[in-house]
Amino acid sequence: MARKRRFIIDIDEETNKKKLVLSDIILLLVFGGLIALVIWLVLMVAKKEKDPTNIVADMVVPIIEKGSKNEFTVNLDKIEDKKYIIRVVNYRNDIINKNEMDYDIEVINENNVEIEIYKNEIEDNLASINNKDLFIEKNVLKAEEKQDDVYKIVVVSDKDLTKKDTLKIIITS
């Protein structure tokens, strides 16, 4: 009884009967399942990278109550890659705002260093009109849903920055 083995099908040469090989079919199904799993994991990683909560920020400012004022100064000569990232969020730990919150950002550029400011993924430079002082108003954080607004400040100036080159940033709600 000689048998010829072909992929997925066994052929008996004496009777010329074809018979499916179950082990090969199971291996193909497992292999197909593994390929689908790898594709799904790659898509999940790509989705996770675009999530604003995964962006590493230099400063995170939670706004959880009205009437709050956050004021800080950024030394432009100390920032890496000439980029400074600020995340304005509507939560702290597991506490999320129950009401919508409006907030304003004021950027005071005392030494008139040339900068660009971008919000979230929008390509428009918010500091294009006036590079001295900038007031970004009527920003809204959602209620009962985590939200991150990411502001990226990029130093465009070619001059050597000193300790005197600072930005004063005031975030009020």
User: pLDDT for 87-104, tens place per residue?
Assistant: 998 888 888 888 888 999
At position 141, the amino acid (one-letter code) is L
Over range 108-121, report the average pLDDT.
Answer: 84
What whole-number percentage of the chain has pLDDT above 90? 10
Residues 57 and 88: their CA atoms lie apart, in Å, by: 10
Condensed to tens digits (0 to 9), the pLDDT of residues 126-159 reads 776 666 778 888 888 888 888 888 888 888 877 7
DSSP letter, residue 129: S
Residue that wins the pLDDT comparison between 169 and 164: 169
- CB 173, CB 99: distance < 8 Å: no
pTM over 0.75: no
Q: How many residues does the chain have?
A: 173
Most confident of 1-10, 17-26, 72-81, 97-106: 97-106
- CB 156, CB 116: distance < 8 Å: yes
Listed residue (52, 92, 48, 85) closest to 68, CA to CA: 92
Residues 83 and 134: their CA atoms lie apart, in Å, by: 17
Over range 9-15, report the average pLDDT.
Answer: 72
DSSP letter, residue 161: P
**If DSSP codes are grouped into helix, strand and coil, which group holds residue 46?**
helix
